[in-house]
Chains A and B, each alone.
Chain A
């Protein structure tokens, strides 16, 4: 592997950070500290890490309901993320959005989204603005799941991006289940990437649990988009190790199947590689995990200690108050 050590470690640490956050969030949810729903990214970390770490600060991304990983990979602050999950005023959205609506515009994260496939038209819009108004070389990474590829917005969005040659990297995180439905039962094609052909778009299907494969594929797609070559559809095949949401009884799948997939999970795989190449040692490995556990613990404390928003806040932030149109 011809990547620099720093890059490799960054990939690894990004995945560890995501995993630590998600597992802690799961515990907190089961302890009833987090209200509503959360949807965990456990087992899919390679995709976020492999692609997003290559984006510039001024590149954009659209995310999903399963979006903590994307946000963390783009450099989101775990304190403000955790506070938002708790519904505290110090959260990214002042407690008004919750897990499914996390965003950080300063990092170009155009929001997690509670609607399946809704990020696709939004990404298309960002792409249009980049090409037509800003005329820059920014790109947009658009994440969604296999389930989204069956929704109308997916087809409209890909068609649109292809027709206008928008600088978008579409990433379908094919994790074998859409909510409680196995993809094999909902989708007639085995490789979703083939759908790109319907839009004369390049589509590539990869092992989403292989962070280096993700990295390489993403690199090419990002360069292509940045260079005006138009959009790409990357199908990153992975497996959703946790339920659709925390608390999902998962009656629709065999626990044995889940067991099996744990052996293939991306962090373990990469670890073995890094240990073999001696980029990681057992000590440094432990130190990394401890560092992120500490960061996440601090985030939890921040969230727990934070105040809830004032009730009057419920009525604010609806509109930008008109300033008299004088700009």
Chain B
């Protein structure tokens, strides 16, 4: 199968959806001739023109808000916030407007909006350009949140998100933009709300998201040499969450480790842990649940510090081993 980088895969998805539906258009900062901060929109401006690939001023409130407004009158915008850290400037429009419009209006509106947000640390971008804020968004009823970990998933999920009639936030880990992976030819969609078992196993379930999926696979490889068989489950969609798949996996293994790049407390891992503890999988747990996450500090700048900050394979391995004690 051919290999593309995540960036290329997303680009393909955008091209395909822009061609398929004339109501789709892009808005964001630096997405025009520059091709996007991470080269994701390379070539689109030349191909689709300024009306459909709209470079915007630095106005995140209006980037998000105009996406809502355009969607309300029948368009299907794909907005980009250059870094998820800038979400804070768009929160009113995403949380108070987009997420709630359908409900507040008695179901009589639809907001088919996609907001793409690069996120994540590891590039010495420091505290204000490196966060993982998926927990904020997953906490808001009315939003769907998606986090691919491979190029193939990134393409398929984005296409599904664009075709979804609801407000879908697509969180792309920056680290993965330049990573290659197999991407099928031709038309395909990855449905929202369906998890993917990236590595089946029988001893421990590791629920990992984003960059941590690759990290978990690497940890699993190391642990397999000691005869420990780790199952790596990638939710792919954070909300709506494929709870059935996670419950089934934990029932099989009896051990759960969550792994994400965001800070531990009140994070996505906490939700998985609580969901499992409330579920029928509770009676199958044979060890306390472990969460691998970043420490509770802003992302530091210097490499030696940032490396400590980022959850890596040894931390996942250690967490797995703690479930086997």
A189 contacts partner chain B, Cβ-Cβ < 8 Å: no
At the interface, yes or no: A246 with Cβ under 8 Å from chain B? no
**Would you call A126 an interface residue if the criterion is a C-beta within 8 Å of the partner chain's C-beta atoms?**
yes
Is A280 an interface residue when CB atoms closer than 8 A count as contact? no
B297 interfacial by beta-carbon distance below 8 Å: no
- Nearest CB on A from B41, distance (A): 16
Residue of A nearest to B65 (CB): A121
Q: Would you call A60 an interface residue if the criterion is a C-beta within 8 Å of the partner chain's C-beta atoms?
A: yes
**A134-B74 contact, Cβ under 8 Å, with A118-B97, A317-B107, A325-B160:** yes
Asked if residues B164 and A163 are in contact (CB atoms below 8 Å), the reply is: no
Is B68 in contact with A125, judged by CB distance below 8 angstroms? Answer: yes
Q: Given A114-B96, A122-B66, A153-B65, A132 and B25 touching (CB < 8 A)?
A: yes
Asked whether B70 is an interface residue with its Cβ less than 8 Å from the other chain, the reply is yes
Cross-chain contact of B61 among A114, A129, A153, A317 (Cβ < 8 A): A153
Inside 8 A of B61's CB, which chain A residues have their CB?
A: 121, 152-153, 156-157
- B205 on interface, CB distance cutoff 8 Å: no
A123 to B92, CA, bound (A): 15
Q: Which residues of A contact B71 (CB under 8 A)?
A: 125
Chain A residues numbered 210-225 whose CB sits less than 8 Å from any CB in chain B: none
Give a binary string over A143-159; 1 marks a CB under 8 Å from any B CB, 0 the rest.
Answer: 00000000011001101
User: Is B66 touching A153 in the complex (CB atoms < 8 A)?
Assistant: no
Q: State which residues 133-151 of B face A: CB under 8 Å.
A: 141-142, 144
Interface 1/0s, chain B 51-65, versus A by CB < 8 A? 110101101011011
User: Which of A101, A129, A156, A160 contacts B73, CB < 8 Å?
Assistant: A129
Whether B65 contacts A320 by the Cβ 8 Å rule is no
Chain A residues lying within 8 Å of B106, measured Cβ to Cβ, are 91-97, 317
Query: Which residues of chain B are near A320, meaning CB under 8 Å?
Result: 102, 110, 112, 164-166
Q: Which of A78-130 contact B (CB under 8 A)?
A: 91-97, 101, 103, 105, 110-111, 113-115, 118, 120-130
Q: Which residues of A contact B96 (CB under 8 A)?
A: 114-115, 118
B192, CB-defined interface residue at 8 Å: yes
Q: Is the CB of A157 within 8 A of B189?
A: no
Complex: how many Å from CA A62 to CA B101?
Answer: 13
Contact-size category for B: 35 or more
The reply to whether A93 and B97 contact each other, CB–CB distance below 8 Å, is no
Given the contacts A115-B92, A317-B107, A320-B166, A129 and B62 also touching, CB distance less than 8 Å: no
Instruction: Let me know if A195 is at the binding interface, CB within 8 A.
Output: no
Given contacts A131-B51, A152-B61, contact A124 B166 (CB under 8 A): no
- Asked if A124 meets B27 with Cβ closer than 8 Å, knowing A103-B108, A318-B103, the reply is no
Contact for B57 among A91, A105, A130, A163, CB less than 8 A: A163
- In the bound complex, CA of A62 to CA of B110 (Å): 16
Chain A residues with a Cβ closer than 8 Å to the other chain, count: 48
| Residue A133 at the chain B interface, CB threshold 8 Å | yes
Complex alpha-carbon distance, A94 and B102, angstroms: 11
CA distance A110 to B72 in the complex (A): 7
| A197 in contact (CB, < 8 A) | no
Question: Which residue on chain B has the smallest CB distance to residue A324?
Answer: B191
The complex places the Cα of A134 from the Cα of B76 at a distance, in Å, of: 11
- Per the bound structure, the CA–CA distance linking A125 and B67 in Å amounts to 6
The answer to whether A132 and B73 have CB atoms under 8 Å apart is no
* B182 at interface, CB cutoff 8 A: no
Determine which of B57, B65, B104 lies in contact with A159 in the assembled complex, contact meaning CB atoms within 8 Å.
Answer: B57
- Residues on A with C-beta less than 8 A from B105 are 92-93, 96-97, 101, 103, 105, 111
**CA–CA, A266 and B62, complex, Å:** 34
* Interface residue? B321 (CB, 8 A): no
Judging by beta carbons under 8 Å apart, are A129 and B164 in contact? no
Partner of A156, one of B25, B62, B163: B62
Contact with B along A302-327 (1 / 0, CB 8 A): 00000000000000111110100100
B75 contacts A by Cβ under 8 Å: yes
* Distance in Å: Cβ of B162 to nearest Cβ of chain A: 9
Q: What B residues does A111 contact at CB under 8 A? A: 72, 101, 104-105, 109
0/1 per residue, B115-155, Cβ < 8 Å to A?
Answer: 00000000000000000000000000110100000000000
Min CB distance A56 to B, Å, is 14
In Å, the complex CA distance between A92 and B62 comes to: 27
A residues near B97, Cβ cutoff 8 Å: 113, 115, 118, 122
B23 within 8 A of A: yes
Bound together, the chains give a CA A114 to CA B77 distance in angstroms of 23
**Is B65 a contact of A103 with CB atoms below 8 Å?**
no
Shortest distance between the CB of A9 and any CB in chain B (Å)? 31
List which B207-222 residues lie within 8 A (CB) of chain A.
none
What residues of chain B lie closer than 8 Å to A163, measured between beta carbons?
A: 57
- Cβ of B62: which chain A residues have Cβ within 8 Å of it? 120-121, 124-125, 153, 156-157, 160
Per a CB cutoff under 8 Å, which of B56, B93, B101, B109 touches A160? Answer: B56
Q: How far is the CA of A63 from the CA of B65 in the complex (A)?
A: 14
Query: What 6 A-B pairs have minimum CB-CB distances, sorted nearest first?
Result: A121-B65, A125-B69, A125-B66, A94-B106, A317-B107, A122-B69
- Using a CB–CB cutoff of 8 Å, the interface residues on chain B facing chain A are 22-23, 25, 27, 51-52, 54, 56-57, 59, 61-62, 64-75, 77, 89, 92-93, 96-97, 101-110, 112, 141-142, 144, 160, 163-166, 189, 192
Given A96-B106, A133-B75; 20 other pairs, CB 8 A cutoff: A91-B106, A92-B108, A94-B106, A110-B69, A110-B72, A111-B104, A124-B66, A125-B69, A125-B73, A128-B27, A128-B70, A129-B70, A130-B73, A132-B75, A156-B61, A156-B62, A157-B62, A318-B102, A319-B144, A325-B189
25 interchain pairs, CB-CB under 8 A: A62-B69, A93-B104, A94-B106, A101-B105, A110-B69, A111-B72, A115-B92, A118-B97, A121-B68, A124-B62, A124-B69, A125-B69, A125-B70, A126-B72, A127-B66, A128-B54, A128-B66, A128-B70, A133-B25, A153-B65, A157-B62, A318-B141, A320-B165, A320-B166, A325-B189
Interface residues of A (CB under 8 A from B): 60, 62, 91-97, 101, 103, 105, 110-111, 113-115, 118, 120-134, 152-153, 156-157, 159-160, 163-164, 316-320, 322, 325
